[in-house]
Amino acid sequence: MSGFVSFVGSGPGDPELLTLKAVDRLKRADAVLFDDLSSGPILSHARSGADLVGVGKRAGRPSPRQHHVSRLLVDYAETGQRVVRLKSGDSGIFGRLEEEITALRAAGIGYEIIPGVPSACAAAAAAGIPLTRRLTARRIQFVTGHDVSGELPEDIDLTALADPTASTVVFMGKRTFPKLAAALVEKGLPADTPAVLAEAVSTPDQAIQRSTITALAERLGGGIGAAPALILYGPLADGRDD
């Protein structure tokens, strides 16, 4: 009999931000395949004796190929095990969820998706700002800062990203933000647009730095460090009230 896979969003890193349903699935899982950012204290909720398998992908580091991760999910489930695929943030946001679902469907294996606290929401909360504002920030946009080669995507919609009335969150963008910021200014986004760099959100190493898109681009051009980060920019990044 085939097992079952629970795709669990673990939130940004703080185990207290796990949902009750996420904790329940971890406690009942026979195997947990986890991303790097979902490790540490979050795995303390896994039951004793469960297989804990790291399958995380980090830019610039050796990582398992996606087809290997998908194959592992299928292999574990085909033995009848209850499997948790633990992903950071919410698994449906830049989490390669679709590839893994496709593999399970092809193998006839059942699954569920348990949402997690998106890291973008956690970053805004850590910075003490909302992601929307009446009249001046009615739209939120999430964008990945790199493609499969690690470069800024060539087909990125710069017109949308240069909208001064939108709140924009850039995932995995520290390395490419200098290039992106220059393109945004060329598209008409003011060079002094407020920006926030949120690193290691909700963990003991959390660091929140307020800047502008040009100042942040200059800083990141001199070195990015290893901490996972989000970049927020737009009318809310300065933390002003209505």
Summarize pLDDT for 158-215 with one digit per residue, the tens. Answer: 999 999 999 999 999 999 999 999 999 999 999 999 999 999 999 999 999 999 999 9
| Active-site residue, from 21, 24, 36, 57 | 57
Question: Does the pLDDT of residue 2 top 80, yes or no?
Answer: no
CA dist., res. 47 & res. 223, Å (int): 40
pLDDT, position 9: 97
| Span 147-167, average pLDDT | 92
CA dist., res. 16 & res. 137, Å (int): 30
Domain end, chosen from 71, 86, 114, is at 114
CA dist., res. 214 & res. 193, Å (int): 8
Please report where in the chains the tokens 């390395």 appear, as a residue.
175
Domain assignment present for residue 241? The answer is no
pLDDT band (50, 70, 90) for residue 74: very high
pLDDT band (50, 70, 90) for residue 242: very low
The verdict on 88 and 125 lying in the same domain is no
Q: What is the pTM of this model?
A: 0.90
Domain assignment present for residue 239? The answer is no
| Active-site residue, from 14, 30, 35, 163 | 35
| Span 64-70, average pLDDT | 88
Q: Which domain range does residue 36 map to?
A: 4-114
CB 9 within 8 A of CB 122: no
Query: Is 21 noted as a catalytic residue in this protein?
Result: no
Beginning with the edge strand found earlier in the chain, give each strand of the sheet holding 139-144 in spatial order.
Answer: 139-144, 166-171, 229-233, 194-199, 207-212
The verdict on 58 and 127 lying in the same domain is no
What's phi and psi for 166, nearest 5 deg?
-110, 145
What average pLDDT does the structure give for the chain?
A: 92
CA dist., res. 234 & res. 193, Å (int): 6
CB atoms under 10 Å from CB of 126, counted, come to 21
CATH of residue 37: 3.40.1010.10
The verdict on 163 and 87 lying in the same domain is no
Q: Each residue of 18-52: pLDDT tens digit? A: 999 999 999 999 999 999 888 889 999 999 999 99
pLDDT, position 137: 85
